[in-house]
Amino acid sequence: GAGVSQSPSNKVTEKGKDVELRCDPISGHTALYWYRQSLGQGLEFLIYFQGNSAPDKSGLPSDRFSAERTGGSVSTLTIQRTQQEDSAVYLCASSLGGYGTEAFFGQGTRLTVV
């Protein structure tokens, strides 16, 4: 597809379980972002990948959160031992990279921890 694809679109998990969220960026985009958005709130930056550089993980809220980007393309955000406060929409975006370039967003994964 031409856009950023995220899966699953919705995920309900039990507290304490691990979850993996997937993002397929637009082909050729070197930059990839993960954001988290709680209900009615703004976007909280989580992590940023740019090409082969070390990712900027400064936004990850705890060591339960990690992300990988394989082959400079697909990215997986993993949340271990999920907590109820992890419930949110997780948004992925990609861009061509470079200063302040336009970001293209996926439709997000709505995570609910029960």
Partner 1 sequence: SQQGEEDPQALSIQEGENATMNCSYKTSINNLQWYRQNSGRGLVHLILIRSNEREKHSGRLRVTLDTSKKSSSLLITASRAADTASYFCATPMGDAGNMLTFGGGTRLMVKP
Q: Please give the residue ranges that form the binding site for partner 1 (CB under 8 A).
A: 4, 31, 33, 35, 37, 39-43, 45, 48, 50, 56, 89, 91, 93, 95, 97-108
**82 vs 94, beta carbon nearer partner 1:** 94
Burial grade of 82 (CB within 10 A; 0-12, 13-18, 19 or more): buried
Q: Name every residue whose Cβ is closer than 8 Å to that of residue 99 and which is 6 or more positions away in sequence.
A: none
Of 79 and 91, nearer to partner 1 (C-beta) is 91
As measured in angstroms, the least distance from the Cβ of 68 to partner 1 is 18
Integer Cα distance of 32 and 104 in angstroms: 9
Q: Which is nearer to partner 1, 37 or 80 (CB)?
A: 37
